[in-house]
């Protein structure tokens, strides 16, 4: 793992005395407690409401630059899972005079309100729970104060409980107790549930007593139990827990939490750079991230590595000071003048990077793992084989059952008051078991994802025509063989696979659907082989559970199709189908013609009535005007029809108001529209450039860095792709520099570390990620993760030792297609520059 190897060179302790000493924790201007090498956060973050418990709130501990504890809060079970109830934050107050932080929360369903209060005492934190009213009877024996500790931070370490020693298990092996029957998973036998028993219990608990970088001591007069939550779910944490007493009010519980503080400790510098490397003509800037208390300013060296391993300095100098961003200080080292091809290393004091290249062909093949590996693995309704390895068997061949009406489901899916189809709730919808990609680290087919990926792939095909062929795809036998050419361009085969799912939806129900997803949490959390997720047989309610007859079974594990009609989804699918029809015209003429016929028919239908405005979560399409505009542009490009040009012109004023997210599509329309259209776009382009330049000036990386609950690599790539599109359309206004800055950010020049966020691309890349193989602590080559998540107010985080942070580590399919498109765009820009130099 990267943290265990390269971390020693890039983020290790650089100055620490032999023994820790007490240094008072103080409330800083950012609203959290700070002592040397320690931060205590108290509800600095709150969940965004989309995905329940994402391990980013409550009382949290950052120790020697690692967030090792979170979710210090009142919970209703010992090892709560992702979908278990969590209190609602009512209010948070910070008193700078007393140093006290208070958070008021409630469980509305129980009429239960409580206050969590924190104050510093020396280098420790006193955490108490106050109850305005007595604990409701329904929560007696259930409600307790929990603090969760990151398992990977305590692998190979021990603990003491009231002086008795124990060891943290590398793999969960706690004793369990039987519990009442839980909801059935996947329609299989419900059976009994189970919960872990405590590994230990006492009033004084010390975690990792021999390791100052992980030692945390907790004392309470109320007994504390230590649990291993991984016994119930692979993403569970180690949990310390004290039950709240019945019949009491006021302060009912108090913990003293003391994470070891180390005066003089400094975080080692990180040298942000592209792990892939740089083209000779490309601007090359490394970003050095420093502890703000680090006064040292050694020179930076760029070393060239020869065949014998000798290192020759080719550029040495002081880095320029950029200033403070988040919790760190930044400096920048520009080595753009170094153009000689070869292998290089950057050094800053004792910190060294892994070797990287300066080469002409870097971007020409950087996307190969994404197309060769990641996308084949993501193909639904197929068996995917790689030499000796079966990634998954034929998946979800029993798709799909009509979702129930008036139902809010998991993962942002919902069905409205009617099915909007001819099918009754629970009835099988034939024809949906074809094409499409798994949306992300889970297995659903999100229609909005499907058409976004198809359009991106079509842009790559039409502009770059990559004929790469390393994968055999047989849709008839539903088999994919990786690293085996079949004489057909892989990108076209992927476009066809996505198009088949979009077409199937219109064939089945007459309109685009929200998507297809597991019927319950038990099946949704399935990890590993997608082919074993269901029995692949159509559910027949007349059969008994587990009974099988021909291609039918009595097991209701079939995924649900959410079919509420949305004009935004229809328009988005129209855009994808119209684009695909161009790319597939010679490759699969029949599918091409059918895709275009559907797109034109559905467009005409949508023009004949008021739009269907069903919306829920992020599964019902983007903004209606944006999806409508995309459909008009793609149909215009495909057919040249005047009605589509008229629609583009009519929609433009609204699109101009949200230009940033529509800029690529707007630029695509320029060759098909009168000159006045381009003239009308120019002010929007200039405004976009001004606002973007203001945004990127706020950080040292020169890209927009988002601070939501999902990290921002998608936004960074969108910035690069928008820059590329606008540079081609308005070369006198927009320069292409941001294309390369975006790629450098993605590939290692970013906050928190210098790792490449594209698995298998670059010297040190993402090797532990949130794919459907995440329980194996492994990766899928070519997958792109969300990246550096900003834990508010100022901590950039991306764990390479714990894959289950989806907001940091979850592969998402559109990011894969965007990466293919962006790297090809960079390669094309460099080729264009070389050709210009020759002339």
**Domain 370-611 - what CATH class?**
mainly alpha
**E-strand stretches of 627-734:** none
Domain coordinates of the chain in residue numbers? 17-178+193-259, 270-364, 370-611
Q: How far is CA 674 from CA 656, 667, 680, in A?
A: 17, 13, 10
CA nearest 184: which of 444, 523, 412? 523
- The reported pLDDT for the residue numbered 54 is 86
**E-strand stretches of 470-595:** 471-474, 479-482, 515-517, 538-539, 548-549, 552-553, 560-562
- The reported pLDDT for the residue numbered 836 is 66
Q: What is the rounded distance in angstroms from the CA atom of residue 22 to the CA atom of residue 263?
A: 8
* Residue 35 structure tokens: 């002592």
Q: What is the rounded distance in angstroms from the CA atom of residue 568 to the CA atom of residue 564?
A: 11
- The reported pLDDT for the residue numbered 189 is 41
The 10s digit of each residue's pLDDT in 84-143 is 889 999 999 999 999 999 999 999 999 999 999 999 999 999 999 999 999 999 999 999
CATH number of 270-364: 2.60.40.10
**E-strand stretches of 335-467:** 342-348, 351-352, 356-358, 383-386, 389-392, 401-402, 407-408, 414-415, 445-446
Q: Angle, nearest 10°, between helix axes 624-639 and 567-583?
A: 30
- The reported pLDDT for the residue numbered 188 is 41
* Residue 61 structure tokens: 């501990």
Residue 391 main-chain phi, psi, to 5 deg: -70, -45
Residues of the chain with pLDDT under 70: 1-22, 48-52, 181-192, 836-839
The 10s digit of each residue's pLDDT in 386-430 is 999 999 999 999 999 999 999 999 999 999 999 999 999 999 999
- The reported pLDDT for the residue numbered 181 is 56
Q: Which is it for the CA torsion 288, 294, 300, 306, positive or negative?
A: negative
**E-strand stretches of 440-531:** 445-446, 471-474, 479-482, 515-517
Burial of 31 (0-12, 13-18, 19+ CB in 10 A): middle
Cα–chain-centroid distance for residue 55?
14
CATH fold, domain 17-178+193-259, is Beta-galactosidase; Chain A, domain 5 (2.70.98)
Q: Angle, nearest 10°, between helix axes 624-639 and 589-607?
A: 130
Of the chain, the end-to-end C-alpha distance in Å amounts to 47
- The reported pLDDT for the residue numbered 838 is 65
Q: What is the rounded distance in angstroms from the CA atom of residue 18 to the CA atom of residue 502?
A: 63
* Residue 799 structure tokens: 């764990």
pTM: 0.95
- The reported pLDDT for the residue numbered 213 is 96
Strand partners, 729: none
């Amino acid at each position: 793992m990267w943290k265990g190897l390269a971390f020693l060179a890039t983020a290790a302790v650089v100055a620490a005395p032999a023994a820790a000493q007490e240094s008072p924790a103080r409330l800083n201007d950012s609203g959290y407690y700070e002592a040397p090498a320690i931060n205590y956060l108290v509800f600095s973050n709150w969940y965004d409401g989309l995905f329940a418990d994402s391990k980013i709130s409550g009382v949290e501990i950052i120790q020697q630059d690692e967030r090792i504890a979170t979710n210090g809060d009142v919970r209703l079970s010992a090892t709560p899972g992702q979908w278990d109830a969590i209190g609602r934050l009512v209010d948070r107050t910070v008193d700078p005079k007393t140093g006290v932080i208070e958070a008021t929360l409630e469980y509305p369903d129980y009429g239960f309100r409580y206050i969590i209060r924190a104050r510093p005492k020396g280098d420790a934190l006193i955490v108490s729970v106050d109850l305005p009213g007595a604990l409701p009877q329904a929560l007696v024996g259930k409600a307790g104060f929990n603090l969760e500790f990151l398992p990977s931070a305590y692998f190979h370490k021990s603990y003491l409980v009231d002086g008795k020693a124990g060891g943290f298990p590398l793999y969960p092996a706690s004793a369990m107790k039987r519990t009442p029957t839980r909801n059935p998973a996947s329609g299989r036998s419900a059976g009994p549930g189970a919960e872990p028993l405590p590994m230990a219990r006492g009033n004084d608990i010390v975690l990792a007593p021999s390791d100052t970088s992980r030692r945390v001591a907790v004392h309470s007069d109320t007994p504390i139990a230590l649990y291993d939550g991984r016994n119930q779910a692979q993403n569970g944490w180690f949990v310390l827990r004290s039950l709240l007493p019945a019949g009491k009010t006021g302060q009912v519980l108090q913990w003293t939490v003391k994470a070891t503080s180390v005066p003089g400790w400094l975080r080692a510098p990180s040298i942000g750079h592209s792990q892939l490397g740089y083209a000779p003509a490309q601007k090359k800037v490394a970003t050095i991230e420093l502890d703000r208390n680090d006064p040292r300013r050694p020179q930076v060296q760029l070393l060239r590595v020869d065949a014998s391993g000798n290192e020759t300095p080719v550029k040495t100098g002081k880095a320029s000071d950029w200033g403070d961003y988040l919790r760190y200080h930044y400096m920048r080292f520009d080595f753009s003048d170094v153009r000689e091809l070869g292998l290089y290393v950057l050094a800053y004091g004792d910190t060294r990077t892994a070797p990287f290249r300066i080469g002409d062909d870097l971007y020409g093949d950087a996307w190969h793992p994404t197309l060769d590996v990641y996308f084949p693995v993501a193909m639904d309704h197929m068996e995917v084989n790689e030499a000796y390895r079966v990634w998954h068997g034929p998946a979800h061949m029993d798709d799909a059952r009509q979702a129930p009406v008036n139902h809010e489901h998991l993962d942002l899916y919902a069905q409205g008051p009617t099915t909007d189809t001819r099918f009754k709730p629970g009835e099988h919808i034939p024809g949906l078991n074809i094409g499409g990609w798994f949306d992300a680290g889970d297995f659903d087919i999100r229609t909005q994802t499907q058409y976004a990926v198809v359009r991106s792939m079509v842009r790559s095909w039409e502009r770059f025509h990559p004929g790469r062929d390393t994968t055999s795809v047989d849709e008839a036998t539903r088999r994919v063989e990786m690293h085996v050419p079949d004489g057909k361009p892989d990108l076209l085969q992927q476009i066809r696979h996505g198009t088949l799912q979009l077409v199937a939806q219109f064939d089945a129900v007459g309109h685009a659907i929200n998507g297809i997803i597991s019927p319950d949490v038990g099946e949704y959390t399935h990890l590993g082989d997608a082919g074993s997720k269901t029995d692949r047989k159509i559910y027949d309610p007349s059969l008994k559970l587990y009974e099988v007859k021909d291609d039918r079974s009595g097991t209701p594990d079939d995924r649900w199709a959410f079919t509420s009609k949305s004009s935004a989804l229809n328009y988005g699918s129209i855009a994808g189908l119209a684009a695909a029809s161009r790319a597939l015209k010679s490759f699969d003429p029949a599918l091409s013609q059918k895709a275009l016929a559907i797109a034109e028919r559905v467009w005409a239908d949508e023009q004949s009535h008021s739009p269907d405005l069903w919306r829920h979560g992020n599964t019902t399409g983007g903004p209606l005007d944006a999806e409508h505009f995309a459909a008009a542009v793609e149909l215009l490009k495909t057919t040249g029809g005047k009605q589509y040009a008229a629609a583009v012109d009519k929609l433009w004023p609204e699109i101009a108001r949200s230009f940033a997210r529509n800029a690529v599509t707007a630029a695509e329309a320029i060759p098909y529209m009168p000159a006045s259209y381009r003239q009308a776009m120019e002010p929007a382009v200039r405004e976009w450039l001004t606002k973007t330049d203001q945004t990127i000036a706020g950080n040292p990386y020169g890209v927009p860095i988002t601070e939501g609950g999902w990290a921002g690599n998608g936004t960074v790539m969108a910035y690069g792709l928008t820059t590329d599109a606008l540079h081609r359309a308005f070369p006198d206004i927009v320069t292409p520099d941001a294309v390369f800055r975006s790629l450098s950010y993605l590939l290692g020049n970013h906050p928190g570390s210098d790792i490449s966020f594209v698995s298998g691309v670059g010297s040190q890349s993402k090797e532990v990620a949130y794919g459907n193989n995440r329980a194996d602590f492994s990766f899928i080559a070519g997958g792109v993760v969300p990246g550096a998540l900003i834990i508010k107010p100022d901590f950039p985080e991306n764990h390479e030792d714990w894959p289950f942070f989806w907001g940091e580590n979850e592969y998402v399919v559109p990011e894969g297609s965007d990466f293919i498109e962006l790297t090809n765009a960079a390669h094309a820009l460099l080729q264009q520059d070389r050709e210009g130099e020759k002339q």
